[in-house]
Structure 1
Amino acid sequence: MKFLQKYILFPKRFGFYPYFWLIWIIFPITSLWPFDTAHKLVTAGLLAIFIWVYRNGYSVTKSLPIWIYGQYLLCVILTVTDAWVYLTLFTAWEIGSLPISKPKFRQYLIGYYVTLGACLLWLAIQVQSNFFSWESSSGVGGGIVMILFELFSPLAAKSISNSYRRREELRAQNSRYADVIKRGERERIARDLHDTLGQSFSTITIKAELASKLLEKKPEQVASELKKLQQPRETTCNWFGKL
Structure 2
Amino acid sequence: MKLKERFRKNTGLSPFVWIVFYILPFYFIFPTSSIPQIVFGILMIILFFVFYVLSFVAKGWLVYFWTSLQIVISTIMGIFFSYIYFSLFLAFFIGNLKNRVAFWILYGILIATTVGSINVGFILNSRVFVTQLPFVILSTLAVILLPIGTYNRNKEEKLKEQLENANKRIADLVKMEERQRISRDLHDTLGQKLSLIGMKSDLASRLISKNPAQAQIEIKDVQQTARIALKEVRELVTKMRGTRLDDEIKRIYQILKTAQIKFRLKGDTHLKNTTLIAENVVSMCLKEAVNNVVKHSQATECTITINPKEKELEVTVEDNGIGLGDRDERKVGNGIQGMRERLEFVNGTLEIESENSGTTIKIKIPKVQRKIEE
What interval of TM-score do these two structures reach, taking the shorter chain for normalisation? 0.7 to 0.9
Does structure 1 residue 106 correspond to structure 2 residue 107?
A: no
Q: Structure 2 vs 1, CA of residues 119 and 156 (structure 1 numbering), >3 Å: closer, same or farther?
A: same
Task: Report what 2:344 is aligned to.
Answer: none
Aligned 8 A contact 1:53 1:70 in 2: no
Residue type of the alignment partner of 1:45: I
Task: Report what 2:54 is aligned to.
Answer: 53
Distance 2:220 2:144 in 1: 86
Does structure 1 residue 204 correspond to structure 2 residue 197?
A: yes
Q: The residue matched to 2:75 in structure 1 has which SS?
A: helix
Shift of 1:69: 0.5
Residue type of the alignment partner of 1:96: G
Paired residues, number: 226
- 1:15-34 aligned within 5 A: 16-18=9-11, 20=13, 22-31=15-24
Residue type of the alignment partner of 1:199: Q
Task: Report what 2:372 is aligned to.
Answer: none
Q: Structure 2 vs 1, CA of residues 111 and 55 (structure 1 numbering), >3 Å: closer, same or farther?
A: same
* TM superposition score normalised by structure 1: 0.73
Aligned 8 A contact 1:113 1:151 in 2: yes
- 1:1-243 aligned within 5 A: 5=1, 8=3, 16-18=9-11, 20=13, 22-31=15-24, 39=39, 42=43, 45-56=46-57, 59=59, 61-80=60-79, 83-101=82-100, 103-128=101-126, 130=127, 132=128, 134-135=130-131, 137=132, 140-219=133-212, 222=215, 225-241=218-234, 242=237
Q: The residue matched to 1:98 in structure 2 has which SS?
A: coil
Shift of 1:118: 3.4
Aligned 8 A contact 2:51 2:66 in 1: no
Aligned 8 A contact 2:8 2:15 in 1: no
Residue type of the alignment partner of 1:197: L
Residue type of the alignment partner of 1:68: T
Aligned 8 A contact 1:211 1:222 in 2: yes
Task: Report what 2:337 is aligned to.
Answer: none
What does the per-residue CA deviation read over 1:202-234, in whole Å, with 9 as the maximum and x for residues that have no partner? 111121012202311233565554344234444
Residue type of the alignment partner of 2:75: V
Indicate the structure with greater strand content: 2
Q: Structure 2 vs 1, CA of residues 122 and 54 (structure 1 numbering), >3 Å: closer, same or farther?
A: farther
| Larger of the two Rg values belongs to structure | 2
% identity of equivalent residues: 24
Indicate the structure with greater helix content: 1
* More displaced stretch, 47-56 vs 224-233: 224-233
Shift of 1:195: 0.8
Q: Structure 2: give runs of 5+ residues left out of the alignment.
A: 28-34, 239-374
Distance 2:200 2:8 in 1: 68
Aligned 8 A contact 1:97 1:158 in 2: yes
Shift of 1:10: 6.3
Q: Structure 1: give runs of 5+ residues left out of the alignment.
A: none
Distance 1:65 1:17 in 2: 16
Higher RCO (Cα < 8 Å, 6 or more apart) = 1
Shift of 1:82: 5.2
Q: The residue matched to 1:16 in structure 2 has which SS?
A: helix
